[in-house]
Amino acid sequence: MLVPDSSNALMEMMRASGATPKYLPSERLRLLAMTLVTCVPWVVDRELAVRDVVELSLTFDHRVCDGGEAAGFLRRLADLVERPTLLLAS
């Protein structure tokens, strides 16, 4: 689930970085949520640096989707967000 621009503005106004998707069994099997991009201190090569960070979360029904597969999907998505050139190799 990508958050529309109006929701981003609302989250910024409320000083919220993101929201947790609510799982509704009758409507969807998986929900993907992303937080706003924020600048945070991050360790890079054992040095402290400021980096833009976005958090991803995935809500899914364990009866329908294996947790290992869901985690693998989220890891692959994070890799593609971090290094979009991987899309060219796919």
Catalytic residue chosen out of the listed positions 52, 61, 66, 79: 66
Amino acid, single-letter form, for residue 32: L
62 is catalytic: yes
Residue 66 appears among annotated catalytic residues:
yes
Per annotation, catalytic residue among 5, 61, 62, 79: 62
3-state secondary structure the chain: CCCCHHHHHHHHHCCCCCCCCCCCCCCCCEEEEECCCEEEEEEECCEEEEEEECCEEEEECCCCCCHHHHHHHHHHHHHHHHCCCHHHHC
Query: Which residues are the active-site residues?
Result: 62, 66
